[in-house]
Structure 1
Amino acid sequence: MSKPSQFALMSQRRFAPFFWVQFFGAFNDNLFKTALVVALGFDAASWTTMSASTITNLIPGLFILPYVVFSATAGQIADKFEKAGLSRLVKWLEVAIMAMTGLGWMTHTLWLLILGVVGMGVHSTLFGPVKYAYLPQQLKPEELMGGNGMIEMGTFVGILLGQVLGAILVATKGIGLELVAGGTLLTAVVGLVASYRVPNTPAPAPNLQINWNFLTESIRNIRHSAGNRTVFLSMLGNSWFWFYGALVLAQFPVYAKDYLHGDSSVFVLLLTMFSVGVGTGSLLCERLSGHKVEIGLVPFGAIGMTVFGADLYFASTGYANTAAVVWDTFLQQDSALRILFDVVMIGVFGGFFIVPLFALIQTRCDPEHLSRTIAGMNILNALFMVAATGMAIVLLGQGLTIPELFLATAILNAVVAMYIFSLVPEFLMRFLAWLLIHTFHRVKTVDADRIPEAGPAVLVCNHVSYVDAIVIGAASPRPIRFVMDHRIFKMPLLGWIFRTAKAIPIAPAKEDPWLMEKAFVDIAQALHEGDLVCIFPEGKLTSTGEINEFKGGIAKIVERSKVPVIPMALRGLWGHLLSRSQDNVFERAFRKGWRSSLALAVGHPVEPHNVTPELLHTQVAQLRGDWK
């Protein structure tokens, strides 16, 4: 049965009202900020003596400053109090802030508008932990990728529409400031109305004692998150995305004006392309992930961000036009379409990068500490974005051009991504698995939801090829510790893959009794820690395509660790280039063809007291059927 689309969530009260609350919040933030940036960037002299470049980097910095100061407190509040009530409180605050900034627009008072930037930063700081902690409380695990994709899409569409409307309204001759003042207040009121439809969402830690010292609480939050290595490095990856995005997006006003020789409509076009890209990438995540948290998309996203970020530099250097243009005449210039394509693709791959990281944090974090973890991540995001602002100001001040800044950011992205993935090899392992099943093969899973999402279990499967573990790993919602023949670890590429995946090497007793006993100890330890362990009870690859006799190791495992055993069967891998089929290599390659079909069938769990090698052999054979 096909699973419902992520768009079905928009008809459900547990998701739709909250979606609109965050959508209108993102929309209003950007309507206000963009109107202010355009007003000051294109007419700076009538407002301030600061340069346009300084202003466009300073305003984002002021907006994110509250994240550093208030995130720790906001995370505690979100864990301690019911989230629907908090949503309404935050929306009332937004109404008050927009009323104040309306006065600033009407009286041409810059300090009130700057105070409004900081106030909207406070608004977003308070809502951030609520937003991402709300989803895992209301959505099923298989809905998280789609739900996060919808939220990210909504956020960036809100950003896009807010930026477009902000630029258009403020540029309207005669009544531009009045339109911005009224539009931001009206949007705040609409968001407030939506918040009263958000369903009750209980506090996970109602007895939490709030520590109002933001400095000590910030340190404690980050230290707590650092205790979970995968979650913490995912937080750093998330923060890096915002560093990258903040650094690139902050340059668009001056880039559009000074390098592309465009007016505000060209600036809006760049923002539109980027936001459409992120929204598209975010929505594609559910389809590409197969309704599970697929972190293999994260390296894919990082690669695209580097490739297209670098190409944006080369496309910019090829732009030779010096005449003033508006958006439609800009499209007629050489390199213009290439520039826009690069901007779109940076956004698409940014969506691939960010959505799985959010879902991973939500599923691997302690539920009672999730809001505080998100708050800790927001602190890191703020620090990274402040660093991006500082880096841009310094490098541009040293004479670097904006296109050169794009190239430097793309190169730095590659370095940071390689560092993070080297620390958490699971990302690369999942990427290779995802790549295998989305390029060389079409993999169908049958009853894959029988693989438990939490708790220890042993998976047993027939052993057909050297890529069995990769196919199985790609179908699992969580990491698997594979027990592999020690000789595989000596193979150049596969050995590295399985070592990084924390596979457990094993050898026959007659060959290396010490390594065999150590393998059983490591298996028991992994199961004790709540991991999934997968073994191939045949002990070797099949040389005929038939399932060999199951060895007695599985009985020894369940004797030590009383955990359920889940039979599985691979179909369609016999004859693969990396199987032991004796057919001619070229014949095998062409017989299987490009995008050959595979399947993984998962059976019902077998309780440990019923486990025997013979029973499991029978069940695996039945699951496989006649399709080798």
Structure 2
Amino acid sequence: MTTSTHLLHRRRFLPLFATQLLGAFNDNLYKNAAVFFVVYGVFNSEKSEAIFSAVASALFIVPFFILSALAGQLADMRDKAQIIRWVKLAEIGIMIAGGAGLVIAWQAKHGMLEPWQDMLLMPVAMPLILLALLGMGIHSTFFGPIKYAILPQHLKSEEVLAGTGLVEAGTYIAILAGTILAGFIPVEWAAAGVFVTALVGYATCLSVPPAPPQEEAQPLDFHILRASVQLVKNTMHDRRVFLAIASISFFWTVGAVLFIEFPLLAKRVLCASKEVASLFLVIFSIGVALGSVSINALLKGKVSARYSPPSVLVMALFVVAFQQVCTRFAPTVDGHLMSIGEFLHHPLTPLLLATLGGIAVAGGMFVVPLYAFLTTIVDKSQTARTIAANNVVNSGAMVVGAAIAVGLGAAGVEIVDLVLISAAMCLISAWLAFLLVRAEREAEIHGGPRPFA
């Protein structure tokens, strides 16, 4: 913790930390404000709500799958600080478009538009909302490799795990703040808030110190499919890197399924308001932040995956417990949606929130050491591309997981039962993490990386 406090007072870390925090806050304020507004204020059909929630998540995730190879090349071959400034400038334009979409939809819902305005503007509102979600996905795709790859360049080797933990904890605190606001403030305020936050984020990024490339610049490969395949293939030179990426991918598949299901679960299973759906995301974010910080204390600054297998197994147990508690919630009379006060007075609420918190804490303890692996055991000239390869595999796994969830939902599987998919994926993550721990020990014995086989 002393190291962490020290880093928060240094220009080589603080501006990046603040920029990342503001970006994560804005992503979640906008995304959740849009999803909550549409699910609770526009649609009144479980199928339509599920489709919109899945499409919104997919639009945010797909750019990671398509553009991560290009993002990784740029981050390793150009000054990372300069790329951050380009990305944050683009965020301002994205939020102007997204905010306009939310305001138009809000005005139409409340009858504030003239008939001719409603006819001309309303068909534009939903495409603007979805276009902004896609834009924020692209924004995060290009920023993602940099936020981890820049750490070994600006921090000492013994500071990298603490810095990674702080970035993860800060990310989830920002998710927490954005999620709370999205659930509790009017959508028109959210539209203004995302624009202001984008401006502040651009201001903070101007103080990020230069981070020039660690190798001579090479031509960029704009062939997306070929570059993506080659990017992932290049991670196989070290079995530890490949296994860390695979483990993280299944973890975020779990996260994607849970995030898609939370608003639907709150409304359809628990008969609760959007503030309760927001509370779920808040508890999840706090838990991951606590897990991110606590694992650094357990490992005492050493990068190791030895706690990852038991952590994700505990996470699977909490997922099953969470699902069992949800099944025992009795529906309210006449479909009344419980306010957050009514929900907190329900006798099963403490147990429900405790199991949800357990999922998140165990998840944070699982994933942070794996990210630290990706930034410390590869050459500094390759870190951004390694993170980008991780993003390609992560996003592909998340899209597949979301498609399975939507497909099973369309086939008639109950929302509450879909949560169990996450528990099954945790078991796969545990197996991969166990293989990683074994590869880690072999590397220590043999003194170097072993190829994936």
TM-score, length-scaled by structure 1: 0.66
Matched, 1:71 2:87: no
The structural deviation recorded for 1:385 is: 1.1
Question: What is the one-letter code of the residue matched to 2:192?
Answer: G
- Give yes or no for contact 2:64–2:392 (8 Å, CA) kept in 1: yes
SS at match of 1:94: helix
Match of 2:100?
103
Q: Is the 8 A contact 1:58 1:389 kept in 2?
A: no
Q: SS in structure 2 opposite 1:51?
A: helix
1:243 aligned partner: 253
Q: State whether residues 284 and 357 of structure 2, in contact with CA within 8 Å, keep that contact through their aligned partners in structure 1.
A: yes
Matching residue within 283, 293, 298 for 2:293: 283
Does the 8 A contact of 1:309 with 1:407 survive in 2? yes
State how far apart, in whole Å, the 2-side matches of 1:96 and 1:423 are. Answer: 42
How far has the Cα of 1:181 moved from its partner?
Answer: 2.0
- Take 1:420 and 1:182, find their aligned partners in 2: how far apart are those partners? 43
- Determine the C-alpha separation between the residues in 2 that align with 1:345 and 1:376: 29
Which of 183, 190, 200 is the aligned partner of 1:180?
A: 190
Measure, in 2, the Cα distance between the counterparts of 1:151 and 1:422: 26
For 1:319 and 1:309, how far apart are their aligned partners in 2?
16
**CA distance in structure 1 between the aligned counterparts of 2:90 and 2:46, rounded to whole angstroms:** 31
Letter of the structure 2 residue corresponding to residue 341 of structure 1: A
Quote the residue 1:139 is aligned against. Answer: 155
Q: Once superposed, what is the RMSD of the aligned Cα atoms?
A: 2.0
How do residues 66-465 of structure 1 correspond to structure 2 at under 5 angstroms? 66-108=63-105, 109-169=125-185, 172=186, 176-177=187-188, 179-323=189-333, 324-422=337-435, 425-426=438-439
SS at match of 2:2: coil
TM-superposed CA distance for 1:45, in Å, is 3.8
CA offset digits 1:430-449 (Å, max 9, x no partner): xxxxxxxxxxxxxxxxxxxx
> Runs of 5+ in structure 1 lacking a partner?
430-477, 482-525, 532-628
Structure 2 residue identity aligned to 1:204: Q
- Other structure's SS at 2:250 match: helix
1: CA distance between counterparts of 2:394 and 2:235?
14
Q: Distance in 2 between matches of 1:261 and 1:327?
A: 11
Post-superposition offset of 1:50: 6.8
Pairing of 1:581-600 with structure 2 (within 5 A):
none
**Whole-Å Cα distance in 2 between the matches of residues 298 and 242 of structure 1?**
14
Higher helix proportion (structure 1 or 2) = 2
- Structure 2 residue identity aligned to 1:148: T
Matches within 5 A, 1:455-534: 480-481=444-445, 526=446
Shift of 1:426: 4.3
**Structure 1 pair 137/29, CA: closer, same or farther in 2 (3 Å)?**
same
Distance in 2 (CA, whole Å) between partners of 1:416 and 1:340 is 24
Is the aligned partner of 1:25 residue 2:23?
yes
| 2:119 corresponds to | none
CA contact (8 A) 1:44 1:52 kept: no
- Structure 2 length normalisation: TM-score? 0.90
Deviation for aligned residue 1:117: 0.8
AA matched with 1:75 = G
CA-CA distance at 1:332 after TM superposition: 1.8
Higher relative CO (CA 8 A, sep ≥ 6), structure 1 or 2? 2
Q: Which residue of 2 aligns with 1:12?
A: 10
- Which whole-Å CA distance do the structure 2 matches of 1:55 and 1:118 have between them? 14
Unaligned runs of 5+ in 2: 106-124
Contact residue 300 and residue 352 of structure 1 kept, 8 A: no
The answer to whether the Cα contact below 8 Å between 2:146 and 2:384 also exists between their aligned partners in 1 is yes
- Counterpart code for 1:43: G
1: CA distance, partners of 2:267 / 2:422: 21
Whether the 8 Å contact between 1:312 and 1:407 is mirrored in structure 2 is no
Distance of 2:169 and 2:449 partners within structure 1: 34
Deviation at 1:302, TM superposition (A): 0.9
- Describe the superposition over 1:41-66 as per-residue Cα deviations: whole angstroms up to 9, x where unpaired: 012249x9971111111101111111
Which has the larger share of strand?
1
SS at structure 2 position matched to 1:202: coil
Number of corresponding residues = 428
Deviation sequence 1:559-605 (CA, Å, 0-9, x none):
xxxxxxxxxxxxxxxxxxxxxxxxxxxxxxxxxxxxxxxxxxxxxxx
Deviates more, 1:363-372 or 1:351-360: 363-372
- Contact 2:161/2:369 (<8 A) preserved: yes
Deviation of residue 416 (structure 1)?
Answer: 4.0
